[in-house]
Amino acid sequence: MGSNELDWNEVKLAFLDPKTWLSAWTQFCQNILTDGFGNFLPSILHAMGHDTLASNYLTIHVYYLRALAFFTFAFLSDKYGKCGMFATNLIGAVGYAILIGVSNSAVKYFACFVCTIAVYNGTGLNLAWLNVNTAPQYRRATAIEIQQTVGNTAGAVADQIYRSSPYLLVRVSRLVPYPSPSV
């Protein structure tokens, strides 16, 4: 444990550490995916031709897989002490490419499952990575605060991607580049 007195030098070192800013940029990109996909999944499903009620019911299965994958990857990451092997953003980019490139609604729905694995796991793994790789406590606290501050500004960007209907092809294609910084 560190001292109970704030060490301003450690705060300064967190601001100067490239790892902090890399993680902050990664968190920003991940949060664009999380906010865009999470907030607009019912609208995406509705744009596939489902009615409003079905669109909301169909999100349940996607969110169930999200939770199952998140807890599974968190458990395995903790058990083996490795976060990197669970970086699933390349899979997510494939999911977004499927969403954009096919016209079959069943295949697009499958792509939503593929996307959700990357969208929600990358955010948590990035936070864990910075937490484990930054010390001592005041540098870590400052680095995480920078990461979360930069990351949370992504909500303003994600809302601009889905400004109006149709929600599916053109706007989802704008999300494809965002998994790449986390890979």
pLDDT range class, residue 56, cuts 50, 70, 90 = very high
Higher pLDDT, 89 or 30: 30
Across 39-43, 136-140, 160-164, least confident range: 160-164
Is residue 69 within 8 A of residue 117, CB to CB? The reply is yes
Using one digit for the tens of pLDDT, what is the confidence trace for 80-138? 877 766 667 888 888 888 988 888 999 999 999 999 988 888 888 888 889 989 999 99
| Cβ-count burial 93-127 (b if 16+ within 10 Å, e if not) | bbbbbbbbeeeeeeebbebbebbbbbbbbbbbbbb
pLDDT at 164: 63
- CA atoms of 150 and 14, how far apart (whole Å): 14
Across the range 130-147, mean pLDDT stands at 94
Which range is most confident: 18-27, 41-50, 120-129? 18-27
pLDDT at 74: 84
pLDDT range class, residue 180, cuts 50, 70, 90 = low
Residue 165 has pLDDT above 80, yes or no: no
pLDDT at 39: 84
pLDDT at 87: 67
| Mean predicted lDDT score pLDDT of the chain | 85
Across 26-35, 87-96, 129-138, 169-178, least confident range: 169-178
